């Protein structure tokens, strides 16, 4: 067969084959007179994840921070798991200034921030946790931070894990308070919410310090 004719025949055959494939993949029309199945289960629309309200009304909010060289509470044997869940050991509470007794009501909400790169003015790296605590209106309270259980408030949880024991992931010589010192918090303040000031911000820092009779500070 002449090469030119053979090429033309192959080209025509290829075009016919491609046309047949294109027709076979076209969507089929719904038969005339058919209706959608009313019992068919529709695919659910994913619900977007709501961003937490870090500064709700009638609440005090802020951060708890501590130096990264101090490490984190060993909530498990995994350092990564302990870092990701570092905020579950902390809480913020409100005390009655007249009696120094805790207000039993809403518990503080704690969040791990997405950004772990907080540094102070001196370049010191910190871990941080965010919190929010609902407060009664028109009543002065003292806001404190602590760790562990709150059953002994205003006294802190005496568990050595929170007070004196070595944490994980810190720097050598810094992941445990020195002899005679404890983990405690600075930043406690008096707060009163009202119509003019329906929210407040109080920030805390975990430090190593010698025991004081008026802890937490």
Q: How far apart are CA 167 and CA 216, in angstroms?
A: 20
Cut 0.75: pTM above it:
no
| Residue 91, preceding peptide bond in cis (omega within 30° of 0) | no
At 72-127, the pLDDT tens digits run: 999 998 999 999 999 999 999 999 999 999 998 888 999 998 777 778 877 889 99
Query: DSSP of 40-62, one letter per residue?
Result: PPPPPPPPPPPPP-SS-TTEEEE
């Amino acid at each position: 067969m002449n090469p030119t004719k053979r090429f033309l025949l192959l080209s025509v055959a290829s075009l016919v084959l491609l046309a047949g494939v294109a027709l076979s993949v076209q969507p089929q029309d719904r038969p005339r007179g058919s209706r959608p199945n009313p019992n068919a289960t529709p695919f659910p629309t994913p619900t977007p994840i709501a961003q937490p309200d870090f500064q709700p009304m009638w609440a005090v909010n802020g951060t708890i921070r501590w130096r990264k060289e101090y490490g984190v509470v060993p909530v498990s044997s995994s350092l990564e798991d302990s870092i990701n869940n570092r905020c579950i050991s902390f809480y913020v509470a409100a005390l009655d200034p007249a009696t120094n007794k805790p207000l039993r009501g809403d518990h503080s909400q704690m969040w791990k921030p997405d950004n772990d790169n907080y540094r102070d003015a001196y370049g010191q790296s910190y871990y941080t946790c965010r919190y929010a605590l609902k407060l009664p209106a028109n009543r002065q309270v003292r806001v404190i931070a602590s760790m562990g259980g709150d059953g002994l408030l205003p006294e802190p949880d005496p568990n050595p894990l929170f007070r004196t024991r070595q944490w994980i992931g810190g720097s050598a010589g810094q992941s445990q308070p020195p002899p005679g010192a404890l983990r405690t918090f600075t930043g406690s303040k008096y707060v009163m919410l009202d119509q003019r000031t329906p929210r407040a911000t109080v920030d805390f820092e975990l430090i190593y310090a010698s025991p004081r009779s008026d802890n937490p500070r």
